[in-house]
Structure 1
């Protein structure tokens, strides 16, 4: 499961171009006539460990593990994590919820203020 995603990540040219860590070291190589494009063959064997890959990329192994787990969640291979879209939606909903709570507090304070104005006895100005 992990190795299939990693093979996809290293062989998918658009992913390699989009992600800055892949861009520097795994840019497409010039293909001569009669050769197979380098990006069409997996750069990682199934026996390669995540630690080795992380070391080759110059990142911590736990960062790579997190990326792999997140990619698996995004592709529906994991149910124990939120997808990136779900995380973005949750972040937006939390922000909206915080704004609504602030607005509620303002409205409560305003209603208390106006209730005090209504309950205050009115006195006539003395002449």
Structure 2
């Protein structure tokens, strides 16, 4: 029996391009505190999915998203879970999805969510 490898988590941030792609060891809390995530709209999922290529395919991908973005027509070679903002819609049916509950941050309340506009696009 081979010893198990230490657990790690690959963290990335992207919009139309990948901006952050780092691997954090399970015991590296300081690195997690220094992690800077970037993005800002114009989401395209293909660059992030393409960054996760063989031979080091992940066991799965958990994507935090509002669901608005360009998605490939076919799933990648690993499971994907969309974790959606409260008003978010799954960007592709080939993945599982869950929605985050609405949450009050301190005393500020979020404005009521408008009816979501469906802007899902297929990537060419």
TM-score range, shorter chain: under 0.3
Q: Which has the larger radius of gyration?
A: 1
- Report which of the two has the higher share of strand: 2
Query: TM-score, normalized by length of structure 2?
Result: 0.24
Query: TM-score, normalized by length of structure 1?
Result: 0.24
- Report which of the two has the higher share of helix: 1
